[in-house]
Amino acid sequence: MDLDGIYRAEYGRCVATLTRLLGDIDLAEEFVQDAFAVAVQKWEQAPPPNPGAWIVTTARNRAIDRLRRESTREARHAQALLLRQPDELQEVGPVRDDQLRMMFTCCHPALSPLARTALTLRLLGGLEVAEIARAYLVPEATVFQRIVRAKKKIRDAGIPYRVPEAAELPDRLTSVLTVLYLVFNEGYASTLGRLLRTDLCLEAVRLTRELAELMPDEPEVLGLLALLLLTEARRPARVGPSGELVVLAEQDRSLWNRQLIAEGHELVRRCLRRNQPGPYQLQAAINAVHTDGPATDWAQVLALYDQLLRHTPTPIVALNRAVAIAEVHGPGPALAAIDELDLPGYHLLPATRADLLARLGRTAEAITAYDLAITLATNDTERTHLRRRRARLEREA
Amino acid sequence: MKKYLLAVQFDESAPWPPEEDLRQRARTSKVTADMQAAGCWVFVGGLVGSHATTVVRPGNGTTTMTDGPFAETKEQLGGFWVIQCDDLDQALAWGEKCALACGSPIEVRPFEDAHGTEHEDV
């Protein structure tokens, strides 16, 4: 019996529903863990047909039993909430809307960005504190504290447990999407060779998929899902046999995950039909072009970047757009386009400069730019990749 | 219902010109009136600048007085509202209105009796 798998799949849902029933995240977590401990003994060979419902029902019943015996204020409050729901069936299961509530609570803008990520992974993803700490390369105590503090703020400041109303939804949804995107990115940018990091990508995809099922009418949610699927699809080709980084142009396209690409393309088409473009949809469309046919149609990519830059005029978008300019109009105009960019400490700016300078035959300047990029790069795989490029340039000079 | 403090962080190093000051007062009065109409208003007060502040400190069973605010920072408490509402989202929505009306950052902070909901629930 795959109890770990069930735990990972059901933990978040169960905690979300128990949080609504008990009005408190800590109590919800406690009783859900309690129920899983009972499950270990009771299920023995095979789990029940609906393990989530079993966990929620068990957790709820145990909560009722224990809260009746206790008389702390929290216990009385939770008991009152439970008693107010007499209509619930004997057998209760996880309620899907509860997960949506939990997503909005965990990603509330009143919480610090780091707390939002940690809470989302812990409460919705069911990741252990130790797993989150390893994935983000920070001490366990740091993650633990961040989560404890965030839960305390949710309770003390009165952060509500509900899906925001229409007026506030766009802003609040952006915050949820940002967290999911950052979780994926954290996994993707440093995935190479680290299994746990891959977990972050898969978790981000799983949660975004659930969000898309819960909010199928939000084009940016579909856009983010498409973006993540189309990026994830290329992962097998992104690392060479000895763990080295393989850039898009040199990737073996036969290694791409066709199924994810088909799913991503279908989502992009759905977004196009809605015609309410946003930053995630545009990035998804760019990735759809990259994954369409035997080679990238760069003119189309550039047109999409023009649109994205109007939507999100950030230096990172401008930098990525320059890569498309180089393919369509040549390295000269691309270099001019990034000349004014200010991205202190970001290694991909000097790396892109180096690349363009090399293509223009300005080798010495290119090598200096590679050196800067190598100093700024934060992960070994990317650093190795940049060193290889630099060495190749020196050999050719 | 929970009570929240909406505290105005006023930058004293850059005071408003008189005509802007009048406009700002008109805007904040409007927000207060809206709070009263919505039934969530508890208290509002604007404070005189921190030059008029005196700090009284305890020590050894007696006290000492010093001139000036507790911390000599650029931003000082300029005034505050106390409101009561259901949750932080409602408080933040008022916080946004206050920030725009004042042209200053607003600190939104729950009162300690926040758990006091038990009286209604039990």
DSSP string, B23-64: HHHHHHHHHHHHHHHHT-EEEEEE---GGG-EEEEEETTEEE
- What is the pLDDT at residue A277? 94
pLDDT category of residue B15 using cuts at 50, 70 and 90: confident
Mapped onto helix, strand or coil, the DSSP state of residue A346 is coil
B87/A159 CB distance under 8 A = yes
* pLDDT for residue A99 is more than 90: no
Contact A125, B51 (CB under 8 A): no
Residue A125 domain-assigned (yes or no): yes
CB of A74 closer than 8 Å to CB of A32 = no
Residues A84 and A123 in one domain: no
Does one domain contain both A107 and A189? yes
Q: What dihedral do alpha carbons B85, B90, B91, B94 form, nearest 10°?
A: -110
CA distance B12 to chain A (A): 26
Tokens read off for A241: 């046999």
pLDDT given at position A248: 85
How many angstroms separate the CA atoms of A236 and A291, rounded? 14
The last residue of one of the domains, among A248, A276, A291, is A291
Residue A82, pLDDT above cutoff 90 = no
Q: Which CATH architecture has domain B2-121?
A: 2-Layer Sandwich (3.30)
Average confidence (pLDDT) over A98-106? 92
Q: Both tokens of residue A34?
A: 């309690």
Q: For A38-42, A92-96, A301-305, A379-383, which range has the lowest pLDDT when averaged over its residues?
A: A92-96
Give me the total of CB pairs closer than 8 Å, taking one residue from chain A and one from chain B: 39
Query: Does A174 share its domain with A225?
Result: no
Q: What is the pLDDT of residue A190?
A: 62
Asked if residue A297 belongs to a domain, the reply is no
Residue type, A140: E
- CA separation for the pair B102, B10 (Å, rounded): 9
The answer to whether residues A126 and A195 belong to one domain is yes
**What are phi and psi for residue A340, nearest 5 degrees?**
-90, -5
A330 in any annotated domain: no
Q: Looking at residue A144, what is its pLDDT?
A: 95
Residue of B nearest to A81 (CA): B121
3-state class percentages of chain A: helix first, strand second, coil last, to nearest 5: 75, 0, 25
- Name the minimum distance, in Å, from the CA of B63 to any CA of chain A: 33
Give the mean model confidence (pLDDT) for residues A129-152: 89
User: Higher model confidence: residue A176 or residue A80?
Assistant: A176
Going from the C-alpha of A28 to that of each of A104, A124, A141, B118, the distances in angstroms are 17, 13, 22, 19
Q: Of the candidates B88, B93, B118, which has its C-beta nearest A159's C-beta?
A: B88
How many domains, in total, are found in chain A? 4
CB contact under 8 Å between B110 and A158, yes or no, is: yes
Question: What pLDDT was estimated at residue A84?
Answer: 64
**Closest to A80 (Cβ–Cβ): which among B110, B115, B121?**
B121
Q: Is the pLDDT of residue A298 over 90?
A: yes
Q: Name the 3-class secondary structure at A129.
A: helix
pLDDT of residue B122: 32
Mutate to test the interface with B, among A77, A161, A162, A175 (most CBs of B within 10 A): A77
CB-based contact A188:A179 (threshold 8 Å): no
Give the separation between CA A384 and CA B40, rounded to whole angstroms.
60
- A94, A120, A145 - which closes a domain: A94
Which of A64-73, A201-210, B4-13 is least confident? A64-73
> Do the Cβ atoms of A160 and B118 come within 8 Å?
no
Work out the average pLDDT over B32-55: 95
Dihedral sign for Cα A230, A236, A240, A244, please: positive
> Of the candidates A174, A164, A28, A18, which has an alpha carbon nearest to the alpha carbon of residue A100?
A164
Cα angle, residue A188 at apex, residues A291 and A280 outer, rounded to 5°: 60
Report residue B120's pLDDT band, with 50, 70 and 90 as the boundaries: very low
Residue A164 located in a structural domain: yes
> Residue type at A263?
E
Q: pLDDT at position B14, please?
A: 85
Going by pLDDT thresholds of 50, 70 and 90, the confidence category of residue A113 is confident
pLDDT at residue A193, rounded to an integer: 46
**Would you call A362 helix, strand, or coil by DSSP?**
coil
Q: What is the pLDDT of residues A6-40, one digit of tens each?
A: 888 899 999 999 999 998 999 999 999 999 999 99
pLDDT digits (tens, 9 = 90+) for A210-228: 999 989 999 999 999 999 9
Q: What is the mean pLDDT of residues A352-379?
A: 93
Distance from CA of A66 to the nearest CA of B (A): 17
Q: In angstroms, what separates the C-alpha of A115 from chain B's closest C-alpha?
A: 17
d(CA A49, CA A52): 9
Q: What SS3 class is residue A55?
A: helix
Residue B117 forms contact with A (CB below 8 Å): yes
Would residue A152 count as lying in a domain? yes
Share of chain A above pLDDT 70, in %: 95
Mean pLDDT of chain A: 89
Say which residues have a Cβ less than 8 Å from residue A3's Cβ, sequence separation at least 6.
A36, A39, A40, A43, A47
Q: Hey, what are B24's tokens?
A: 């700002």
Range of the domain at A172: 95-202
Q: Considering only CB atoms, which chain A residues are within 8 Å of B97?
A: none
Report how far Cα A217 is from the mean position of its chain's Cα atoms.
20
A184 and A263 both lie in a single domain: no
Residue A208 is predicted with a pLDDT of: 95
How many residues are given for chain A?
A: 397
Residues on chain A touching B2 (C-beta within 8 angstroms) = 158
Average pLDDT over residues A46-68: 90
Q: What pLDDT does A344 receive?
A: 87
Residue A337's nearest CA partner among A319, A349, A314, A310 is: A319
Which residues of chain A neighbour B117 with C-beta distances below 8 Å? 77
Write down the pLDDT at residue B121: 38
Q: Report pLDDT for B54.
A: 92
In angstroms, the CA A30 to CA A9 distance is 17
Q: Please determine, for residue A260, whether its predicted confidence score (pLDDT) is greater than 70.
A: yes
Nearest CA in chain B to A172: B89
Is A160 close to B87, i.e. CB distance below 8 A? Answer: yes
CA–CA separation, A230 vs A287, rounded Å?
A: 6
Domain edge (last residue) among A178, A202, A226: A202
Lowest model confidence (mean pLDDT) among A90-94, A137-141, A243-247: A90-94
The Cβ-side half-sphere exposure at A388, using a 13 Å CA radius, reads: 10
Q: Residue B82: its pLDDT value, please?
A: 98
- Contact (CB<8Å) A81/B121: yes
Residue A303 has a pLDDT of 97
Identify the pLDDT of residue A275: 93
CA distance A320 to A305: 8
Top residue of B88, B94, B109 to mutate, by most chain A CBs within 10 Å, is B88
In this structure, the answer to whether residues A192 and A103 fall within a common structural domain is: yes
Q: Does residue A387 sit within a domain? A: yes
B120–A contact, CB cutoff 8 A: no
